[in-house]
């Protein structure tokens, strides 16, 4: 560090080369923390500098206290969660909702984690948190006409332009005289003085209910649970909370019935910050948090509004989910605008009709696996070549014996009879395994629905055999629906099974179709089988890229179960070879399987409510 800040210092020349290297980011931040502890903290006159260094370190995922410095959250997560783009996103949402329902109807709650958090960037706005969000909302052109109130445990703020209207209303609600003074950090914001106790939260509810204010900005600690305002119809979640209980509690703020709007429809928004594909960093923690938040939330399927589902599918349609995955994977050509959920919000009246309120329902959950795939793509990459090779040899095993039988009629009867019988027996002996393998492989190329149904049957029956699920009278059902001209969505379910068994089945399918991680067994597709089938497949495509599927862990716990699973797959789906990957000698094969795993379908579990 000395060589960077004072390269001409004579001490530099006496240092070894290793001490003159530039420090890493982690070393720099820890050195800053040590400097603050040793030099800044002991000096009372440098208290402001101490607080500023703490905020700087917080932006990089470090917590500085009088006991030392320690690593806290991922710095990328801190930057994304604290991004001012989230505040702008909240303004865009409010502008859309305002256009639809109007100022007379809009009642919104914007929730953050903290009053203030992190450092001051650029000297224009404060660190992340409710105070900064409120300032952006007050000054943004799209939302400046909305009357807003900031309520936190330490400060209450209003827009300076609204003081003449809101100060008397607050005084009347609280029963005390309140005043306002200009904020030190934003000239367009006024800080309300004279408020004591917790009555401000109830006052905010009543003012929002009467339409005196349109938006309340606050922290999750005050408004995350227990706060009751039936008039709220729009929630904008800027928080980092992702647990099932906290997420559902927060969404519950908008689900109260409003006596003044019997046909109320609430919109709950989650604002997520993601790194652009052009940024080299791989982490996308806020996008992962988005999935966790929606994992336990119900809503209309964005692709099929006749279905009520749980998960991200209730918030983003398949095109936007795919675009989000492409942004995370940094696929060339993908744009952040392709993920934007602002363009896919139907009118509230349409949403209410699609919920079909008042119609009978079964009140049960159903778990299924959804596969999205290209219509023209075979189930496996190796399928087309394998089908052609097996078909050609199969045709030959039929044609050659037929020619020999025909030629036998030209020979003496005894010799001709022997040749005809031998040719027929040999042809049948070779044709039966070849024909069965060819039929199975060809099905994978032309009938994806039937192929996936057979795979599902093999998985389900293996789970039954291994006592992972209870036997039922039905078999897995696979239905296909078109997503667009190019893609189709397959839905795999076992409706007769108990919910817990449905989840087990869906988890097994997710493993089967998902990326290969560290399975005990894998299936090598379109290889193996009876000797004649194996010889044809090995000779036909010796240099073709191999393809693998993992054996689901619930089936692969015992070797005999995995062998039985491979046998059933070979009989009902197509040729496979079972590989066990438990020894060091199999590591190259595991590496190849990870590179070349997965079928042509992208799978995800879906929970429906019926």
pLDDT of residue 98: 93
Q: Is the pLDDT assigned to residue 353 strictly greater than 70?
A: yes
pLDDT of residue 545: 67
State the alpha helices, DSSP H only, in 236-275.
244-251
pLDDT of residue 463: 96
- Among 162-166, 256-260, 536-540, where is mean pLDDT lowest? 536-540
Distance, in Å, from the CA atom of 208 to the CA atom of 222, rounded to the nearest integer, reads 16
Asked if residue 169 lies in contact with residue 204, where contact means CB atoms within 8 angstroms, the answer is no
Distance, in Å, from the CA atom of 195 to the CA atom of 552, rounded to the nearest integer, reads 61
Distance, in Å, from the CA atom of 201 to the CA atom of 224, rounded to the nearest integer, reads 12
Percent of the residues in the chain that have a pLDDT greater than 90, as a whole number:
38
Distance, in Å, from the CA atom of 97 to the CA atom of 255, rounded to the nearest integer, reads 17
The pair of three-digit structure tokens given for residue 204, joined into one six-digit string: 């905010």
Average pLDDT value for residue range 133-157: 93
Q: What are 194-211's pLDDT values in tens digits?
A: 887 678 999 999 999 999
Name the residue with tokens 């943004």: 140
Asked if residue 234 lies in contact with residue 97, where contact means CB atoms within 8 angstroms, the answer is yes
Report the C-alpha dihedral over residues 240, 245, 250, 251, rounded to 10 degrees: 110
Q: Kindly indicate the confidence band of residue 412, based on its pLDDT and cuts at 50, 70 and 90.
A: low
pLDDT of residue 123: 39
HSE on the CB side for 17, CA within 13 Å? 0
For the whole prediction, is pTM greater than 0.85? no
- The helix (run of H) or strand (run of E) holding residue 488 is strand 487-493
What are the backbone angles phi and psi of residue 539, rounded to the nearest 5°? Answer: -75, -30
Angle at 64 between CA 62 and CA 66, to 5 degrees: 160
Distance, in Å, from the CA atom of 399 to the CA atom of 403, rounded to the nearest integer, reads 6
- The helix (run of H) or strand (run of E) holding residue 477 is strand 477-482
Distance, in Å, from the CA atom of 338 to the CA atom of 318, rounded to the nearest integer, reads 11
Greatest mean pLDDT among 87-96, 372-381, 485-494: 87-96
Contacts of 284 (CB under 8 A, 6+ apart): 274, 275, 327, 328
Residue 367's DSSP bridge partners are 607
User: What is the pLDDT of the chain when averaged over all its residues?
Assistant: 85
Q: How many CB atoms lie within 10 A of CB 133?
A: 27
Q: What are 573-590's pLDDT values in tens digits?
A: 988 899 999 888 888 888
The DSSP secondary structure of 544-597, one letter per residue, reads SPP-EEEPPTTTTTSHHHHHHHHHHHHHHT--EEEEE--SGGGHHHHHHHHHHB
Average pLDDT value for residue range 173-181: 92
Q: What are 311-325's pLDDT values in tens digits?
A: 988 999 888 888 888
Q: Among 446, 297, 445, which residue's Cα sits nearest to residue 385?
A: 445
477-482: strand order across its sheet: 298-300, 308-310, 602-609, 365-374, 487-493, 477-482
Beta strand residue intervals within 88-142, DSSP E: 108-112
Reduced to 3 states (helix: H, G, I; strand: E, B; else coil), residue 153 is coil
Reduced to 3 states (helix: H, G, I; strand: E, B; else coil), residue 179 is strand
Q: Using only C-alpha atoms, what is the Rg of the chain?
A: 33
Q: How far is CA 299 from CA 173, 360, 376, in A?
A: 37, 17, 31
Greatest mean pLDDT among 370-374, 449-453, 482-486, 605-609: 449-453
Distance, in Å, from the CA atom of 400 to the CA atom of 395, rounded to the nearest integer, reads 9
Residue 125's DSSP bridge partners are 121
Q: How many CB atoms lie within 10 A of CB 27?
A: 12
């Amino acid at each position: 560090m000395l060589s960077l800040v004072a390269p001409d210092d004579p001490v530099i020349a006496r240092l070894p080369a290793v001490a003159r290297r530039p420090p890493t980011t982690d070393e720099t931040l820890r050195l800053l923390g040590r400097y603050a502890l040793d030099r800044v903290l002991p000096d009372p006159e440098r208290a402001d500098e101490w607080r500023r260094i703490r905020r700087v370190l917080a932006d990089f995922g470090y917590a500085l206290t009088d006991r030392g410095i320690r690593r806290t959250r991922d710095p990328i997560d801190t930057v994304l969660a604290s991004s001012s783009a989230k505040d702008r996103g909240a303004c865009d949402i409010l502008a859309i909702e305002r256009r639809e329902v109007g100022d007379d109807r809009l009642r919104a709650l914007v929730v953050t984690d903290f009053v203030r958090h992190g450092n001051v960037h650029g000297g224009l706005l404060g660190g992340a948190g409710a105070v900064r969000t409120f300032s952006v909302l007050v000054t943004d052109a799209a939302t400046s006409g909305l009357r807003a109130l900031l309520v936190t445990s330490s400060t209450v703020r209003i827009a300076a332009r609204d003081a003449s209207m809101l100060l008397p209303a607050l005084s009347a609600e609280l029963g005390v005289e309140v005043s306002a003074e200009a904020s030190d950090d934003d000239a367009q914001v006024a800080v309300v003085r004279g408020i004591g106790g917790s009555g401000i939260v109830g006052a905010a509810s009543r003012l929002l209910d009467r339409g005196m204010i349109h938006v309340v900005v606050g922290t999750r600690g005050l408004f995350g649970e227990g706060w009751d305002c039936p008039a709220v119809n729009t929630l904008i979640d800027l928080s980092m909370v992702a647990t099932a209980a906290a997420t559902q509690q927060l969404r519950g703020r908008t689900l109260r019935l409003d006596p003044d709007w019997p046909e109320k429809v609430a919109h709950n928004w989650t604002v997520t910050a993601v790194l652009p594909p052009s940024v080299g960093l791989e982490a996308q923690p806020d996008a992962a948090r988005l999935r966790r938040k929606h994992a336990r939330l119900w809503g209309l399927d964005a692709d099929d509004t006749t279905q009520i589902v749980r998960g991200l599918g209730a918030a983003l349609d398949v095109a936007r989910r795919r675009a989000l995955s492409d942004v995370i994977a940094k696929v060339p050509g993908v744009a952040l605008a392709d993920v934007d959920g602002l363009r896919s919000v139907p009118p509230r009246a349409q949403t209410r009709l699609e919920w079909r309120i008042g119609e009978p329902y079964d009140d049960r959950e159903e778990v299924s696996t959804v596969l999205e795939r290209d219509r023209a793509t075979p189930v496996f990459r190796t399928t087309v070549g394998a089908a052609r090779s097996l078909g050609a040899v199969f045709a030959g095993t039929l044609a050659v014996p037929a020619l020999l039988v025909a030629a036998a009629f030209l020979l003496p009867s005894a010799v001709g009879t022997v040749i005809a019988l031998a040719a027929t027996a040999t042809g049948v002996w070779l044709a039966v395994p070849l024909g069965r393998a060819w039929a199975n492989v060809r099905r994978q190329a032309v009938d994806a629905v039937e192929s996936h149904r057979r795979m599902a049957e093999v998985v389900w029956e293996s789970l039954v055999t291994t006592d992972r699920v209870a036997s039922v009278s039905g078999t897995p059902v696979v239905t296909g629906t078109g997503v667009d001209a190019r893609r189709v969505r397959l839905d795999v379910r076992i409706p007769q099974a108990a919910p817990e068994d449905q989840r087990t089945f869906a988890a097994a399918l997710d493993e089967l179709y998902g990326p290969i991680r560290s399975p005990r067994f894998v299936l090598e597709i379109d290889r193996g089988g009876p000797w004649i089938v194996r010889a044809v497949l090995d000779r036909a495509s010796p240099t073709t890229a191999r393809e693998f599927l993992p054996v689901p862990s619930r089936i692969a716990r015992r070797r005999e179960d995995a062998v039985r699973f491979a046998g059933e797959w070979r009989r009902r789906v197509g040729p496979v070879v079972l590989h066990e990957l438990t020894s060091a000698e199999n590591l190259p094969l595991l590496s190849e399987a990870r590179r070349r795993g997965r079928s042509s379908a992208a799978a995800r579990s879906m929970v429906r409510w019926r």
